[in-house]
Amino acid sequence: MASLYKASCKCGYENQVLIGGTRMMAGKCFWPALCGECGKLGSCVQGIEVDVPVCGRCKSPNIVLYRGETGFKLEGLHLCPQCKELSLRFEDTSGDVFC
């Protein structure tokens, strides 16, 4: 199951991303990534049969995945796409999203 997460930063930046797997995408999952081309934070698909994850918006393979220490939980602070500081937090806001 995928979950909807809120990404927010002290600079005022906010966005929502899907994180996790879905029934329709066996062996694949959504994971937050920062695109080096368009500079946007979004969800990319990675996993089985995905050779190279790409940006969900511009389809560029020039992405950096946000990583968590435990599974789909993104603890701590991460790079904010707006202010470029390590002050972005992810918070699960939806529970599970059934797909």
For 21-77, what is each residue's pLDDT tens digit?
Answer: 766 667 788 889 999 999 999 988 877 667 788 888 898 999 988 877 666 568 899
| pLDDT the model gives residue 54 | 87
pLDDT, greater one: 87 or 72: 87
Per DSSP bridges, beta strands 78-79 and 86-97 are: antiparallel
| pLDDT the model gives residue 19 | 84
How many CB atoms within 10 Å of residue 32? 26
List the Cα angle 93/98/99 in 5-degree steps.
120
pLDDT for 99 beyond 50: no
6 contacts: CB under 8 Å, gap ≥ 6: 14, 15, 16, 90, 91, 93
Q: Quick one: pLDDT band at residue 11, thresholds 50, 70, 90?
A: very high
The model's pTM: 0.79
Give dist(CA 72, CA 3) in Å, integer: 9
